[in-house]
Amino acid sequence: MSKAAERMSRVDTAWLRMDTEGNLMTIVGVWLLEPRVAYEAVVERFANALLKYRRFRQKVVEDAVGTSWVDDPQFDIRHHVLRESLPRARGRSPEQALQSRVGELCAEPLDRARPLWQMHVVEALDGPGGTQSALIMRIHHCIADGIALMSVMNAITDGGKPPPVRAAKPGDGSDWLSEAVLRPLTDLTVKALDMTGRGVSKSMEALSHPRSLGAHSLGGSMEVARIGFQVINDVAALALMPDDSATRLKGRAQRVKKVAWGPPLPLDEVKAIGRALGSSINDVLLASVAGAIGAYLRDKGEDVAGKQIRAMVPVNLRPLNQAHQLGNRFGLVPLTLPIGVENPVERVYAVRARMNELKGSYQPLLAFGVLALSGLFIKPVQDAVINLFAKKATAVMTNVPGPSVPLKFCGATVKQVMFWVPASGDIGMGVSILSYGGGVQFGLITDAKLCPDPEQIVQRFGPEFEKLLMTTLMLPWQEAA
């Protein structure tokens, strides 16, 4: 390995090798810009801002002992920042043409011989004389997760701060949390889930706050026992979780993808409903998503009464001030979506109850450990491990907090931001929720065979939210409070 090479972490290696025929591990985002921006201005901005992150100048090299990041000696930014024009079709709006192109790009692999990212600049989204541009971004998941990419987004906009520059330190290329997670998983396995908690105590102390527990105090012993019991329960919950409910949204994923988005919801109204129902913003949004999916399935003739489906939800595991380091540092929790509950307030309470069950759970850390382990396996074994997650869920759902005020890019205002998360294994749906500029944006990507009309689900987000808003306003004051 050359001096310039840097070993890829096990978790990032797992994401690199998770590409399948049906699902590519590419995060895709769209910015709508107004007024229009010129291609050359975008190239200059990316050269001056994005390339301060070394990872975007590095390609992936695999050898007998692993995978490395290596500076690309033939790097040319114009291989990565491309000028794009959308075909005009009769009866289609510019937004529909953009959605169609984004769906095509979601199924187009990135060139493994170059750094794994591309930006497509649509200078004239609304035709000659128009006022809008669009930027389509494709970044392989092995480079970064959603929280890290929000840090990149802020850095490349007007007035953005570049990532901190410091000399490399020993251990920078280590697996960070995976080392801490692999040890407790190993202890649990070797000791056959020793109920005394001793095997768990050492590992979990190393995992989080090694000095926070008094080694010889009664309080410390009680906390260690509690952690040990929780880990054992969470291991069992993950292992014994049944496969997800059968609906038309579940099946073998194919290469062709469809994407859709709609107008953002007012964030202030979402917060107000959350306060009125004693619930979080997440509870309100996820309940609206569950209502939209349930309504879509009912209209397709499916009986969803009393049914629920699972979504794998990423949970951030890193301090936000370390987001500039890129890479993937998140776990996963299975969240049940009560699609069969028609009463919107009851749906919020059902989601809230499930979220409360997950508080204090170590499932995100355990899932991170599974991903770290899978990065060591040969690909067929890794695929088998990942498909265990896929059988348990119908969708992947991401909720990322964005800037509260609209950003500027090359002098233009970033009017709207959308992104789509990749789904692993045979999961055929990805739901993305992003708060930005006072609104909440929903994005949906689906397998074209399992759900050929994702816009019909997206169109139901607004009405489901409005139904929840009206129902909340009609509740007795004491009950709502």
Q: DSSP for 78-112, please give it.
A: GGTEEEE-PPP-TT--HHHHHHHHHHHHHTSPP-T
CA–CA dist 159, 410 (Å, integer): 10
Which of the following CATH numbers is that of domain 257-401+425-480: 3.30.559.30, 3.40.50.2300, 3.40.430.10, 3.40.800.10? 3.30.559.30
Decide if 34 contacts 413 (C-beta within 8 A): yes
Decide if 338 contacts 153 (C-beta within 8 A): no
Q: What is the mean pLDDT of the chain?
A: 81
pLDDT of 367 higher than 60: yes
Q: Give the residue extent of every domain in the chain.
A: 6-156, 177-240, 257-401+425-480
Q: What is the pLDDT of residue 356?
A: 82
CA–CA dist 461, 456 (Å, integer): 9
Percentage helix, strand, coil for the chain under 3-state DSSP, each rounded to 5: 40, 20, 40
Residues 422-449 pLDDT 10s: 887 788 999 999 999 999 999 999 999 9
pLDDT band at 5 (very low <50, low <70, confident <90, very high): confident
Beta bridge partners of 70: 59
pLDDT of 3 higher than 60: no
Residues 291-314 pLDDT 10s: 999 999 999 999 999 899 988 888
Residues 34-69 pLDDT 10s: 999 999 999 999 999 999 999 999 999 988 777 999
Q: What is the pLDDT of residue 478?
A: 57
Instruction: Taking residues 98-119, report their average pLDDT.
Output: 96
Which of the following CATH numbers is that of domain 6-156: 3.30.559.10, 2.30.300.10, 3.40.50.10320, 3.30.420.40? 3.30.559.10
pLDDT band at 167 (very low <50, low <70, confident <90, very high): very low
- Phi and psi angles of residue 277, each rounded to the nearest 5 degrees, phi first: -100, 5
State both tokens at 26: 């590419």
Q: What is the pLDDT of residue 83?
A: 96
Of these ranges, 6-15, 354-363, 440-449, the one predicted with the greatest mean pLDDT is 440-449
pLDDT of 475 higher than 80: no
The three-class DSSP label of residue 7 is strand
Are domains 6-156 and 257-401+425-480 of this chain identical in fold? yes
Q: What is the pLDDT of residue 200?
A: 35
pLDDT of 189 higher than 50: no
Decide if 368 contacts 312 (C-beta within 8 A): no
Instruction: Taking residues 162-174, report their average pLDDT.
Output: 56
Q: What is the pLDDT of residue 460?
A: 95
At a CB cut-off of 8 Å and minimum separation 6, what does 50 contact?
Answer: 56, 152, 155, 156
- The pairing of strands 439-447 and 429-436 is antiparallel
Report the candidate in 287, 303, 253 with the shortest Cα–Cα distance to residue 445: 253
Q: What is the pLDDT of residue 199?
A: 35
Q: What is the pLDDT of residue 213?
A: 42
CA–CA dist 45, 60 (Å, integer): 24
Q: What is the pLDDT of residue 201?
A: 35
Range with the poorest average pLDDT among 10-14, 101-105, 109-113: 10-14
Residues 239-296 pLDDT 10s: 556 678 889 999 888 889 999 998 999 999 999 999 999 999 999 999 999 999 999 9
Q: What is the pLDDT of residue 269?
A: 94
The answer to whether the predicted template modeling score (pTM) of the entire model surpasses 0.85 is no
pLDDT of 384 higher than 90: no
